[in-house]
Amino acid sequence: MDAAQVGVTAGGAATIGLILWFFFGPRTAAAAHEGTAGVQEVEVRVRGGYTPDRIEVRRGRPVRLSFVRDESSPCTEQVVLGDFGIVRTLPQGVRVDVEFTPEAAGEYPFHCAMNMARGTLVVRA
Ligand SMILES: [Cu+2]
């Protein structure tokens, strides 16, 4: 291989690695912290995805997800919690509280409007 071929091959390998990391890389999980009045609170940082992107709560108690969007990319401008009928716009740098009470145990996805950035709400019995 000449230098150009080596470059192209290395670039391709790096791109594949990045894609694998993006889709299958480490996930962050967090259990909600139960604050006063029994509200299960989690702050979710929004930047190229959600951190944490796996959130554990208990069913039958109110949940407050506080989204803070820390980027200008329009991708994450909206967050959708389809199972709860919730769609919210997240202005950059503004904390947006989303409150609801999950009644049934299960795993509920949340995502951006294009379904590119994704997270999961895990509701335990
Ligand atoms: Cu998006």
Distance 32 CA to ligand 1 centre (A): 24
Distance 17 CA to ligand 1 centre (A): 21
Fold of 28-124: Immunoglobulin-like (2.60.40)
* Token pair belonging to 93: 């740098």
Per-chain residues with Cβ under 5 A from ion ligand 1: 75, 112, 114, 116
pTM above 0.85, yes or no: no
**88-111 mean pLDDT:** 98
Q: How far apart are CA 38 and CA 5, in angstroms?
A: 60
Distance 125 CA to ligand 1 centre (A): 31
Q: For residues 28, 97, 89 and 125, what is the CA-based torsion angle, rounded to 10 degrees? A: 50
Closest CA to 24 of 118, 125, 123: 118
pLDDT tens digits, one per residue of 6-32? 777 777 776 666 655 666 665 678 888
* 70 and 46 Cβ atoms separated by less than 8 Å: yes
Q: How far apart are CA 59 and CA 113, in angstroms?
A: 26
Distance 60 CA to ligand 1 centre (A): 30
pLDDT tens digits, one per residue of 39-71? 999 999 999 999 999 999 999 999 999 999 999
